Structure 1
Amino acid sequence: MNEIIKKRLVQAALAISLAAGGAVVTHQAAQQPSAAVQLAMVLGSHYESSGRHIGTPYVDKLGKGQPLTVCNGVTGPEVVAGRTYTPDDCKRLELPKYLEAERLARQAFVHWGTYNTWVQASIIDMVYNLGPAVLDGTTIVRLANAGDLVGACEQMPRWVHGTVAGKSVVLPGLVDRRGTTRELCTDWGRDGHFSAGLLVEGGAK
């Protein structure tokens, strides 16, 4: 994992913990996404647009092909050619997709509630980036549901292919991204790791 994304994740975790520790319970606070979703959004921001919201729709030629893409990997009927999207617009478009990724992951992984927040974030990022296919009878889900979470995490670097000019190729950006999610999934939040205790919210370590 490179130092830039590591620093961003640590800063985000500290901010989440401070907010959770000092927040007055309000309706607005209750509507906040989970810490895992918030961290997955940090990952998406880093890897989809190098930390910058892309405000003008474009064609992603590395793997997505024809659909217009905007913000951090958002495609679909919400994306209108020629429109400029603000950071608030991007969050409005992205958040439901992250929440859906979390819902699908929670449904697929029978031990989801025992995973720490970093593990959950790494899986949410994969589902957001790859779509539900990553959950459909894959080795990741099979191993995790059999109790071998580390083995499941080690499967993440296999998901690094995209389609370019009609051919399946390894995409360097996905290699970096999966390396980060694998490390989050196998190491972060565990006893003895520097990240242990960074988050107030989270499952078992």
Structure 2
Amino acid sequence: MSKVPAVLRNNLLQLAFGFAVGATTYVAVDQPAKPSQAVQLAMELGAHYESSGRHIGVPYVDKLGKGQPLTVCNGITGPEVVAGRYYSKDDCYRLELSKYLEAERTAQRQFKHWHTYNVWVQASVIDMFYNLPAASIASSTLRAQANAGQPPEVWCPQMQRWVYGTVNGRSTRLPGLVERRTTTAELCRDWGRDGHFSVIAIRGLEGGNAQAD
């Protein structure tokens, strides 16, 4: 039984179905290149868990973040975030995409077997690099196992270790992070593999016979 929330599960499957359909359609030469499928899936994950669109607008102080950073959009912090400025949906997309692309580049550098992973594994790892300090992943058992050539089903469950945030100066297990890591661990470990419902659902959608859930 999948533990991915139903709304997110359906959104991810519909997005993946769009990839399958798009692969057979004509693309104009002058059409801007889209980010990789893995980045698009990771952005869907982030949108669901960071704010689900609630933080488009004026930055807020993230009281669950270390240092309580000024934050806007789907988890954007740093010098780009200016107090009192209004950030539109387009502003948020631009800022988020830049950070997701950097997360993807970092993952490609740190994971020796990156190009052997399916798009769900890649999206899950990109989500972690977007949400966590890269240094914490670089020194992790998860990365060591992956770079030793272990299959994803061995090291993906390690994702569920990163579930702590800072609350009132103390490291605290956060339910939102528990749910997020449960989702990414499942996507990483199970999705896209022969016989899994994610594969069956996409094939069914292509044939017009299956429900997304």
TM over 0.5: yes
Q: Distance in 2 between matches of 1:66 and 1:23?
A: 47
Rg larger in 1 or in 2? 2
In 1: Cα distance, 2:101 partner to 2:63 partner: 26
CA contact (8 A) 1:58 1:70 kept: yes
RMSD: 1.6
Q: Which portions of structure 1, spanning 4 or more consecutive aligned residues, are displaced by more than 6 angstroms? A: none
Equivalent-residue separation in structure 2 for 1:64 and 1:12 (angstroms)? 32
Q: Please state how far the C-alpha of 1:20 moved relative to its aligned partner.
A: 3.0
* Equivalence map 1:122-141=2 (5 Å): 122-141=124-143
Q: Indicate the residue corresponding to 2:75 in structure 1.
A: 73
One-letter code aligned to 2:9: K
Q: Does 1:192 align with 2:195?
A: yes
Superposition pairs of residues 82-121 of structure 1, within 5 angstroms: 82-121=84-123
Residues 1:181 and 2:172 aligned together: no
The DSSP-based 3-state class of the residue aligned with 2:131 is helix
Note the C-alpha offset of 1:72. Answer: 0.4
Paired amino acid for 1:113: H
Using the TM superposition, give the Cα deviation of residue 25 of structure 1 relative to its aligned residue in structure 2, in angstroms.
4.5
TM-score, scaled to structure 2: 0.88
CA contact 1:40–1:122 (8 Å) conserved in 2: yes
Does the CA-based 8 Å contact 1:126-1:134 persist in structure 2?
no
What is the percent sequence identity of the aligned residues? 62
Q: Give ranges in structure 2 of 5+ residues lacking alignment.
A: 204-213
SS of the equivalent of 2:38 reads helix
In the alignment, the residues of structure 2 paired with residue 72 and residue 38 of structure 1 have an alpha-carbon distance, to the nearest angstrom, of 14
Q: 1:196 to 1:58 in 2, by over 3 A?
A: same
Residue 168 of structure 2 aligns with an amino acid whose one-letter code is A
Report the CA distance between 1:147 and its aligned residue: 1.9
SS at structure 2 position matched to 1:22 = coil
* 5+ residue gaps, structure 1: 200-205
Is 1:152 aligned to 2:165, yes or no?
Answer: no
Which residue of the partner structure matches residue 16 of structure 1? 19
Conserved? CA contact 2:58–2:87, under 8 Å: yes
Q: Distance in 2 between matches of 1:86 and 1:40?
A: 21
